[in-house]
Amino acid sequence: MENGANLAWACEHCQKKSYQDLHDYTKKMLNTYGLQQGGYPFRADDLTLTEWCDLGRLAKILNPNRGCPAMMMAAPQPNTSTE
């Protein structure tokens, strides 16, 4: 892990893409994801089906250990009643 004086050099020579190098669609989806995470009230018709699918894929990539909230809500709950 780089730090201190080496950090500036490492960032300048990094092989990873910078935000400016990303495709416009990728930038749009990253911005949309940020808005969604911030609580922006998107409606179903605000995005195309392809954009919704890509947004879901992006969420999986950025949060690989997080389960799908829709699947968690739909999961059947065990019956714990003693009647």
Q: What is the pLDDT of residues 29-59, one digit of tens each?
A: 999 999 999 999 999 999 999 999 999 999 9
Based on its alpha-carbon atoms, the radius of gyration of the chain, rounded to whole angstroms, reads: 19
Q: Is the per-residue pLDDT at 1 higher than 80?
A: no
Q: Is the per-residue pLDDT at 81 higher than 90?
A: no
What percent of the chain has a predicted confidence (pLDDT) above 70?
72
How many CA atoms, within 13 angstroms, populate the side-chain half-sphere of residue 79? 3
Alpha carbon of 20 to those of 10, 17, 39, 82: distances in Å?
Answer: 18, 8, 25, 60
Domain boundaries, the chain: 19-64
